[in-house]
Every structure is written in C-alpha cells, then in structure tokens.
C-alpha cells in the first residue's frame, strides 16, 4: 500500500516524468511530476481499493471505507462491474467489433479491455481515455510492457466529447468511419446532471457509424433505503468527482434510439453470466447493458 506521494513517485519515476511531459504540455525541461493530489480522494483510486488493488493513498482508503460502511456490497458491485466489463467486451469482440473507445478506463487491473478484446481478436484496436493522472501513469506502464496489439491511452474528459473525438492519438488508433464500441463502464455516475450526461453520450454515439455499440454500467440506489442512498454521494462530496446514482429508468434513457442486446438492462451479474445466478445478483447496485446503433 502506498502511504506517501514520495514513495509513489519513487516507484513510478519514469512513467510520471513521461506523463507530466506529455499531458501537461510543458517544455522539454519542465518535467514536474504529475500532481496526484494524494490528500484528495479520487474515484479511480477508491475503485482500485474496492477491487483489492494497491494503487491508492490513505485519503482514498478512508473515503472508500466510509462507502463500505454504508454498504459492504459496494465491493461486490465493483467486482461484478469488472466481470461485466470483461463479458461485454468479449461479447462485442465475438460480434466482430474490432475497435473500442473505453472512456473512464480506471487504474489497470486484471482483464483490461485490450487484453480481453485481443484474446478474441488480436487485431482489436483500443483507445483508453481518463481524466485522472494516476490512470495514465499505470496504463502507459501497462501498454509499454505488454505484448499488446494496437492500444493507446490519453488524458481527456468525457465532458468534452468534441475534444475526445478530435484527439489525434485516438484518431491514430481508431477509424471513426468504421463501427466502434463505445465503453462507458462505471463512469456516468460521476457526471452531474448539470453536465448533461445524456447529451454527452448522444454526441459521441451520433459521431459513430451504424453497427457501432454502446456498452455501459451505472451505479444505482434502486436497492438501497432512501437514507443510505443519500450517504454515498455525501462521501464523494470531498472527492474529485461527485456521485450521482440513477434509477433503472434513468439509465435506460442512455440507450434511446439504440437496440438493446439480450437480456436488456439488468444488474451487472445478470448480463450474460458465465456462472449460475445467486439470489443477491438481482440486487447488485450496478445497471448494465449493451446496445447496437441501427
Ligand atoms: C469507477 S472507475 C471505472 C473503471 C473502469 N471503467 C471499470 O469499469 O472497471 C471510473 C473512472 O472514470 C474516470 N472518470 C471520472 N470522471 C471522468 C470524466 N469526466 N472524464 C474521464 N474520466 C472520468 C475516473 O478517473 C475513473 O478512472
């Protein structure tokens, strides 16, 4: 576990310098390490903690433990979400999808999108995008060290879809004239209503050709008491992104105009499961679905 930013920087010196040089747009001599703001909880690092990862700071762990105190099932939800990501990406690759735009990548862990897709089709091309510098550090290290096909990671923000679509690094890996699977796993609940999450998704989907897909998962309080439902967002108030959980009906709206694949919008463990369902699966607080653009 990481206790101090110093230790973190020492362990990731090379990648940090690379990242700061790359995305802070500095001059060659300006190699200030990325400010990871270890004192502020970051959703990516809290999620890493939920998944049992080690790439998190004390502030992330304190905030994550507060969430787990409200509902220990959040950890189950995180694991179920990750497993859904892998089944959905595998399914899409098996449908012949060769290009993936994965927004809100998260800190790499087991079974990342490019690994899952390239296991089905080694020619799969993947562009990752996240707005958290720590994600860039780890993803670049992973992509540099792995025997990957065509994959890239860029810093960017879902709230600026025009810039995402115009990003030269993304355009180098993805041909947006050909079908693309847009992956929004466990990110839209970090987009406030004020930032028009439906408009952002529409902007991206509209830019993709027929035969493209939208796959997403989204945190929900549908299975919580009203009192508990209010506590989760309160913990995230001190974090770098706010939490807006949405009901099934609200999540369904993201798929307007698209053809939902079977079994429709269901809780994450129930989306084409690899194993027999358990009683609690239907109450996991993550809605999950995959849809095709006609
Ligand atoms: C809970 S993690 C999900 C990681 C991965 N997609 C998964 O499902 O396993 C959410 C990720 O979204 C990123 N994120 C949050 N808001 C974002 C935004 N506006 N633009 C880009 N990334 C964002 C966070 O930094 C974090 O890495």
Q: Give the chain's domain count.
A: 1
pLDDT of residue 137: 86
pLDDT in tens, 214-234: 999 999 999 998 998 888 898
Interval 25-78: pLDDT, tens: 222 233 334 678 889 999 999 999 999 998 899 999 999 999 999 888 889 999
Query: Residue 141 has what pLDDT?
Result: 79
Q: What is the pLDDT, as a whole number, of residue 13?
A: 54
* 222 touches ligand 1 (CB under 6 Å): no
> Tell me, what CATH number does 206's domain have?
3.40.50.150
Please state which of the ranges 51-65, 175-189, 195-209, 250-264 shows the lowest mean pLDDT. Answer: 51-65
Does residue 255 have a pLDDT over 80? Answer: yes
Position 18 pLDDT exceeds 60: no
Concatenating the DSSP letter of every residue in 106-138 gives -S--SS-HHHHHHHH-TT-EEEEEES-HHHHHH
Q: Is 101 helix (H, G, I), strand (E, B) or coil?
A: strand
**The overall pTM is greater than 0.85:** yes
Most confident residue range from 38-42, 45-49, 109-113, 253-257: 253-257
Q: Which long-range CB contacts under 8 A does 194-199 form with residues at least 24 apart?
A: 195/159, 197/254, 198/253, 198/254, 198/256
Residue numbers of the domain that contains 80: 2-292
pLDDT confidence of residue 277: 87
Query: Is the shortest distance between the CB of 189 and ligand 1 below 6 Å?
Result: no
Determine which residue's CA is closest to atom 24 belonging to ligand 1.
44
- Ligand 1 atom nearest the C-alpha of 81 is 8
In a 3-state reduction of DSSP, which class is residue 43? helix
Predicted pLDDT of residue 28: 29
Segment 143-160 shows an average pLDDT of 82
Give strand pairing partners of 289.
Answer: 216
Q: Residue 29 C-alpha to ligand 1 middle, in angstroms? A: 31
Instruction: Give dist(CA 213, CA 112) in Å, integer.
Output: 18
C-alpha atoms less than 13 angstroms from C-alpha of 170 in its C-beta half-sphere: 23
The Å distance, Cα 82 to ligand 1 centre, comes to: 12
> SS3 helix, strand, coil % of the chain, rounded to 5?
45, 15, 40
């Amino acid at each position: 576990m990481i206790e101090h930013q110093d230790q973190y920087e020492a362990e990731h010196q090379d990648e940090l310098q690379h990242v700061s040089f790359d995305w802070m747009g500095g001059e060659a001599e300006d190699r200030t390490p990325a400010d990871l703001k270890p004192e502020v909880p970051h959703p990516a690092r809290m999620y890493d903690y939920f998944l049992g990862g080690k790439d998190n700071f004390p502030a992330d762990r304190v905030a994550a433990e507060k969430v787990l105190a409200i509902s220990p099932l959040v950890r189950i939800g995180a694991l179920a979400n990750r497993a859904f990501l892998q089944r959905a990406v595998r399914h899409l690759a098996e449908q012949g999808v060769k290009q993936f735009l994965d927004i809100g990548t998260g800190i790499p862990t087991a079974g990342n999108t490019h690994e899952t897709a390239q296991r089905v089709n080694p020619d799969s091309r993947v562009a990752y995008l996240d707005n958290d510098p720590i994600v860039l550090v780890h993803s670049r290290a992973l992509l540099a060290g792995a025997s990957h096909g065509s994959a890239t990671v860029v810093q960017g923000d879902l709230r600026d879809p025009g810039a995402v679509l115009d990003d030269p690094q993304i355009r180098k890996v993805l041909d947006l004239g050909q079908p693309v699977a847009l992956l929004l796993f466990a990110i839209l609940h970090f987009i406030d209503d004020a930032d028009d999450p439906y408009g952002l998704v529409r902007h991206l989907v509209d830019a993709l050709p027929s035969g493209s897909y939208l796959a997403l998962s989204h945190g929900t309080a549908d299975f919580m008491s009203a009192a508990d439902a209010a506590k989760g967002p309160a913990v995230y108030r001190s974090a770098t992104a706010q939490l807006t959980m949405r009901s099934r009906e609200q999540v369904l709206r993201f798929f307007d105009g698209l053809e939902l694949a079977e079994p429709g919008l269901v809780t994450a463990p129930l989306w084409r499961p690899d194993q027999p369902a358990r009683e609690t699966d239907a109450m996991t607080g993550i809605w999950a679905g995959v849809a095709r653009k006609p």
